[in-house]
Chains A and B, each alone.
Chain A
Amino acid sequence: MSATVSQAQAQTISPGCGMTAPEPSAVQVDASCRPLLLLFVSAAAWLLAASVIGLIASLKFHSPNILAGCPVLTYGRVRPAALDAFLYGFALQAGMGVLIWINCHLGRARLAVAPLLTAGWFFWNIGVTFGVLGIFAGDNTGYEWLEMPRYGSAPLFFGYAAIGIAALISFHFRSRRELYTSQWFLLAALFWFPWIYTTARALLTIWPVRGTMQSVVDWWYINNLTAVCFGFVGLGAAFYFVPKIVNRPLYSHYLGIFIFWTLALFGSWGFAPIAAPVPAWIPALSTLAALLTIVPMLAVAINVLHTLCGRDQSTKGNVTLSFVLFGAAAFVIAGLLNAVCSLANVSEITAFTWFDPARVQIFLFGFFAMTIFGAIYYIIPRLVPAGSLSPGLIRLHFWLGALGIILFAGPLLIGGLKQGSDLNNAGLPFLNVVQGTLGFLRASTTGELLILLGNAILVLNIVAMLVRVGRASATAAWAANSRKAEVAS
Chain B
Amino acid sequence: MSRGPLLFLASFFALATSWLGFVLVPQLQIGGQQQVEIQETGQLYPSRRPGIAAQGAAVYRANGCFYCHTEQVRPMGFGSDVERGWGGRKSRVQSVAQDYLWDQPVMLGSQRVGPDLANIGLRQTNAVWLLAHLYDPQVTSKGSVMPPYRYLFRKVPLKVGETPSPDALPVDAGAPGLQVVPTDDAKALVAYLLSLRSDVILTNTPPWPPPTNSAPAASAAAAPTNSPAPVAPAK
Interface residues, chain A, with chain B CB atoms under 8 Å away: 13-14, 17, 60-61, 64-65, 68-71, 74-77, 79-80, 138-144, 184, 188, 191-192, 195, 199, 203-204, 208-217, 219-220, 223-224, 228, 260-261, 264-265, 268-269, 272-279, 282, 285, 344, 348, 351-354, 356-357, 423-426, 430-431, 434-435, 438
Taking A219-B22, A279-B29 as contacts, is the C-beta distance between A212 and B106 under 8 angstroms?
yes
**Which chain B positions have C-beta within 8 A of A265?**
14, 17
Contact for A211 among B19, B30, B72, CB less than 8 A: B30
Stretch at the interface among B92-100, B169-177, B222-230: B92-100
Q: Are B105 and A142 in contact (CB under 8 A)?
A: yes
Taking A352-B110, A352-B111 as contacts, is the C-beta distance between A425 and B80 under 8 angstroms?
yes
Q: Are B105 and A143 in contact (CB under 8 A)?
A: yes
Given contacts A143-B105, A434-B143, 6 further A-B contacts (CB under 8 A): A68-B149, A74-B64, A79-B67, A210-B101, A275-B75, A285-B21
Residue B15 CB within 8 A of the other chain: yes
Closest 7 CB pairs of A and B: A76-B64, A142-B105, A426-B83, A138-B62, A268-B18, A264-B14, A426-B80
Q: Chain B, 19-39, contact with A by CB distance < 8 Å: what is the 0/1 string?
A: 101110011011111000000
Contact for A268 among B15, B84, B150, CB less than 8 A: B15
Stretch at the interface among B2-10, B47-55, B156-164, B209-217: B2-10
Q: Are B112 and A74 in contact (CB under 8 A)?
A: no
Taking A80-B64, A275-B74, A424-B80 as contacts, is the C-beta distance between A356 and B110 under 8 angstroms?
yes
- For chain B, the bracket of interface size reads 35 or more
**Which chain A positions have C-beta within 8 A of B7?**
13
Q: Are B18 and A220 in contact (CB under 8 A)?
A: yes
Complex CA distance for A182 and B188, rounded to whole angstroms: 53
Taking A61-B145, A353-B112, A430-B84 as contacts, is the C-beta distance between A269 and B29 under 8 angstroms?
no
- CB closest residue in chain A, given B85: A426
Dominant secondary structure at the B interface: loop
Contact for A76 among B30, B63, B96, CB less than 8 A: B63
Interface residues, chain B, with chain A CB atoms under 8 Å away: 1-4, 7, 11-12, 14-15, 17-19, 21-23, 26-27, 29-33, 61-68, 70, 72, 74-75, 78-80, 83-84, 95-115, 137, 141-151
Contact for B11 among A188, A217, A278, A425, CB less than 8 A: A188
Q: Are B111 and A14 in contact (CB under 8 A)?
A: no
Q: Are B108 and A211 in contact (CB under 8 A)?
A: no
**Which chain A positions have C-beta within 8 A of B97?**
211-213, 277-279
Q: Show 18 residue pairs from A and B whose CB-CB distance is below 8 angstroms, ordered by the A residue.
A: A13-B2, A13-B4, A64-B137, A70-B151, A80-B64, A141-B61, A208-B104, A211-B98, A213-B27, A213-B31, A214-B105, A215-B108, A260-B11, A268-B15, A269-B18, A273-B110, A279-B26, A434-B143
Contact for B148 among A65, A142, A217, CB less than 8 A: A65
Q: Are A264 and B15 in contact (CB under 8 A)?
A: yes
- CB closest residue in chain B, given A216: B26
Q: Are A60 and B111 in contact (CB under 8 A)?
A: no
- CB closest residue in chain B, given A289: B18
Q: Are B79 and A269 in contact (CB under 8 A)?
A: no
Contact for B96 among A274, A277, A351, A356, CB less than 8 A: A277
- CB closest residue in chain B, given A425: B80
